[in-house]
Each structure stands twice: as C-alpha cells, then as structure tokens.
Chains A and B, each alone.
Chain A
Amino acid sequence: QKEVEQNSGPLSVPEGAIASLNCTYSDRGSQSFFWYRQYSGKSPELIMSIYSNGDKEDGRFTAQLNKASQYVSLLIRDSQPSDSATYLCAVKDQGGKLIFGQGTELSVKP
C-alpha cells in the first residue's frame, strides 16, 4: 500500500461547480498535511496546509482533515478553468519526511 494515495483522475468538473479532491495516508502518527497545485510543466506551489481535524478555509479553497479516518480532502468552490492543474497531497510522516501522493489531475470545463 502506498503511503499517500490519491485518485489520479482526470477529474472533470464544469465551471462554477465544486471540485472535490481526496487523499488517504497510512502513517497514523502524521501531524501535518499540505495541498500543492502544479500546472503542467511548472513547479508545485503550496495552496493549503492543515494540522488539526476539521475544516480550514482560504478563499475558494477548503481543506478537510479527519485523522481518525486518515483522510484529507481539498474542496474548490466556484471552480474556474484556471484551476485546471494537478493537485498533489503531501503528508509529513512521523520521521519528518514529506511524502507526496501521485497527484490528481483536475480539468475545469468552461
């Protein structure tokens, strides 16, 4: 089993809809969770971090964390074509290493 798993997609949503991206992780002791966005041919950029159970909102983005279920998600409200990218989930394990999922490709159709 991979340490951090994401659906590879592509996930396609219409413009204005909510995009839901999911990630599960295997290290129950993980404390820090991050979402990166990566446009094609570009470097990853951090868009959200979350450390406590529950929701964390930043503009159109909401990160949700459930440590009991070892599950972290990213919701993008009012999706725009400019949100089309690959979204990488990253989890810091107990040893301090940042483990990345394989990424989910999101396509927002006008």
Chain B
Amino acid sequence: DADVTQTPRNRITKTGKRIMLECSQTKGHDRMYWYRQDPGLGLRLIYYSFDVKDINKGEISDGYSVSRQAQAKFSLSLESAIPNQTALYFCATSDLRIGAYSNIGFGQPQHFGDGTRLSIL
C-alpha cells in the first residue's frame, strides 16, 4: 500500500459544486501539505498543517479550505469550484527530526501522494 494515499485519483465536476479531496498517510508524519500543479508553474502550496490543531495558509489558499481530522488525515475542500481550479493536486507529508535535517518550518523533504487530477467544467 502507498504511504500517502489520495482519493479520488480523478474527478470531473461542474462549476459551483463542492468538492473534497482526501489524503491519508501511514508514515506517521506530523506535517501534511496540499499543493496544486499547473503546467509551467511548478508546485504551489495551498495549505499546510504541522499537527492536528494547526492549520496554515499557503501561497494560494483563496477558494480552498482544509480539515485535519487526525494525524494521518488531511482533506482539501473546494467550496464552490471554478474552472481555473482545474489542476493536478498533490498531498505531501514530512517529518520533523532533530539532526541534520532539522529546521524551523517544513523540516526535511516531503513525500508525495500519487495526485488527484481535477477537472472543473
């Protein structure tokens, strides 16, 4: 089984619909992230969470909301989907460790789920 699982893998929906993308992980990491990827723009951070009680906005949070239901689960919602939210969405996790990789903020490199391809018509 994948360490970071995203559901659904593909979704086509209509403008104005509410959509939820779910992410679960078995890596035991405290930190979870949602990114979107658009052609030619790389990965952009939407929201991130350092633990169950912590939610932070990223670079492009407008139009999105998140919920951290448990250490292992982090969901992303589009309250009223619009066509320019059509993109590939990735969930990622990272671990906070003391040592060579320790830092404030995001800690060591991130592990990604397989992505959700979302199309909004």
Residues of A within 8 A of B (CB): 4, 8, 31-32, 34, 42-46, 49, 51, 88, 90, 92, 95-98, 100-103
Q: Are B90 and A100 in contact (CB under 8 A)?
A: no
- State A90–B90 Cα separation when bound (angstroms): 15
Interface size on B, residues (CB 8 A): 22
Q: Are B106 and A45 in contact (CB under 8 A)?
A: no
Interface SS of chain B: loop
- State A22–B117 Cα separation when bound (angstroms): 28
- State A95–B104 Cα separation when bound (angstroms): 8
CB-CB under 8 A from B103, the residues of chain A are 31-32, 92, 96
Q: Are A34 and B115 in contact (CB under 8 A)?
A: no
Q: Are B105 and A96 in contact (CB under 8 A)?
A: yes
Specify which of B44, B112, B113 lies most central, judged by the most chain A CB atoms within 10 Å of its CB: B112
Q: Are A102 and B42 in contact (CB under 8 A)?
A: yes
In chain B, positions 35-75 with a C-beta closer than 8 Å to chain A are 40-45, 58-59
Residues of B within 8 A of A (CB): 40-45, 58-59, 90, 100-101, 103-106, 109-115
Q: Are A43 and B42 in contact (CB under 8 A)?
A: no
B113 to chain A, nearest CB (A): 6
Contact of B106 among A8, A88, A92, A101 (CB under 8 A): A92
| Chain B, residue nearest A2 (CB) | B42
- State A85–B98 Cα separation when bound (angstroms): 33
- State A95–B100 Cα separation when bound (angstroms): 18
CB-CB under 8 A from A44, the residues of chain B are 43, 90, 112
CB-CB under 8 A from B101, the residues of chain A are 32
